[in-house]
Structure 1
């Protein structure tokens, strides 16, 4: 399927076609759908609206309006969806999408998204925003007519926010509130250390913490006290493009390190795998720097690389991998 800009069809037209194809074969694979969604962040929201409109109109009850002689011809532009049926749906979406949006947005609804160990989830929210949830993390989302609030209950998440000046998108972690100003940003709940880490990839956010408000812009990173206290906010860091890529590497299954402590790298790897890595002598090894890029789903390769960096060994046991140093 071509993009709206190349085909003359709008994003809503194309979303309507995809919604009809998915409705016709909900359990089937749909080649090209993932690429279509990735090409434009607005498409995820358009598809959700089209699916909502189709549900309101009775799902797959639309008739095939092709003439008998047309039934053996390849479908045009919309894959296996008859052209007239798809066009009718596209028109219906134009009439019903706003009703569907109101039906969803007028009634606030709490949704919980969790990612298990070894899993990273990418999700489209009902307002057109998207969130990537890291392994072992949970977010609670509430989107209504006048409200967009997400609570990061634990772990780490990356938010791609559909900006709406009249309805700010807020992320709450403990006593910290992050308010979007049209942006892409990552939030990490380091509950054990008592801090919330905020990294801005695009745009800007306002962070309210410790009785103060701090604005972070693209390339900024800072840590804030998780509980309402007078603990000072850490200095704002300005990150290079390479450092930003390393910090967001988990979204593409990578762990990229540039001198971070081995102990932190082991903890990150363990959140993504059932096969756990342990240090035989944490007091000696945990603080050692580690460099390189590793696949998050390859704990054995990671352990061997760590062992080589400390001139030690990685031994695989039934309950995990142990890294030892001479």
Structure 2
């Protein structure tokens, strides 16, 4: 799409956000928008971006200023670069955060939004914020494919159809049970709250029965038991949308919170690797969780825009 078209779209976004158009201006806008499908697409893209910024931060000045600068410098190469960055950056971040597999999933949740789904067999599925699954239910099987994020599963008994949760790392076959499954880097984390699951890696190297109070990490080549957990504590954390951590490296905790932020969280892993976290953090309020971390550790949170945070070391 040409820079001239983007500049035209930015001009109309600014004029519409400044206030009501006159009848003549509205007719001009309508003619421009219907003259070419690319006009409407460019306008909707920029208007959608500004709308997201305004929803996250009521003050619209930053977005307005960026668009205004692009319009004022429409004939200046520097202005073209600025507008190119304005358009390309949110699109790149959006595609990184929300790939097609997420957008086309059978069930998905936005960051900080938990959702309970009643399945047709009587089972129950709860998706944590920023999660996505595909569902395959037929006469032979009941399958949940976890594409991203974390789910809590309560399985209804059905002797004729196995219930499985599948990820790229392997498969978990439930034996009438309650458990959580989380996609991580690397691997898939299985936490058993009730009964037993038979876990198999994608390469079918081994099958491990994971029982209530146990955790296992599944990778494409193995299933490894990690140790014991308190099912009641894990269940309570789910119910209250909390992240309970005990002596975990700060970068790992930031990874968890970044998934719920809905924007870009930037930090230097090596710079923060020696810092450890023990806390109960609100996953449905990641900005509050980050501030709690900053209150207790030598780090600070810097906001460059409603969609971009930086966490950096700051000796107090």
The superposition leaves residues 49-86 of structure 1 with CA deviations (integer Å, 9 ceiling, x where unpaired) of xxxxxxxxxxxxxxxxxxxxxxxxxxxxxxxxxxxxxx
Aligned position for 2:286: 299
Q: Does residue 205 of structure 1 match 2:197?
A: yes
Report what 1:101 is aligned to. Answer: none
- Which residue number in structure 2 is paired with residue 122 of structure 1? 116
Partner of 1:238: 228
Match of 2:106, SS state, is strand
Match of residue 266 from structure 1: 254
After TM superposition, give the deviation of residue 275 of structure 1 in Å: 5.5
Corresponding residue number in structure 2 for 1:314: 301
How many residue pairs get matched? 208
* Greater fraction helix: 2
Unaligned runs of 5+ in 2: 1-103
Whether the aligned pair in 2 keeps the contact of 1:118 and 1:135 (CA below 8 Å) is yes
> Which of 131, 140, 143 is 1:146 aligned to?
140
Q: Which runs of 5+ in 1 are unaligned?
A: 1-109
Give the equivalent residue in structure 2 for 1:186.
180
Identify the residue that residue 125 of structure 2 maps to in structure 1: 131
| TM-aligned CA distance change 1:221 to 1:262, over 3 Å | same
- CA gap of 1:183–1:144, structure 2 versus 1, over 3 A, is same
Q: Describe the superposition over 1:123-167 as per-residue Cα deviations: whole angstroms up to 9, x where unpaired.
A: 110110011112222111111233211111222211110011222
Give the one of 166, 169, 177 matched to 1:172.
166
For 1:130 and 1:163, the matched residues in 2 are separated by 12
User: 1:237 Cα deviation (Å)?
Assistant: 1.4
Contact 1:113 1:140 in 2 (8 A): yes
User: Over the residues paired in the alignment, what is the CA RMSD in angstroms?
Assistant: 2.4
Which aligned segments of 4 or more residues in structure 1 are displaced greater than 6 angstroms? none
CA distance in 2, matches of 1:259, 1:113: 33
Q: CA-to-partner distance for each residue in 1:253-276, whole Å, 9 max, x for gaps?
A: 212221122111111112112355
Match of 1:61 in 2: none
Cα distance change, pair 299–277 in 1 and its aligned pair in 2 (3 A): farther
Contact 2:113 2:284 in 1 (8 A): no
- The answer on 1:324 being equivalent to 2:313 is yes
- Cα displacement (A) at 1:287: 4.3
TM-score normalised by L of structure 2:
0.59
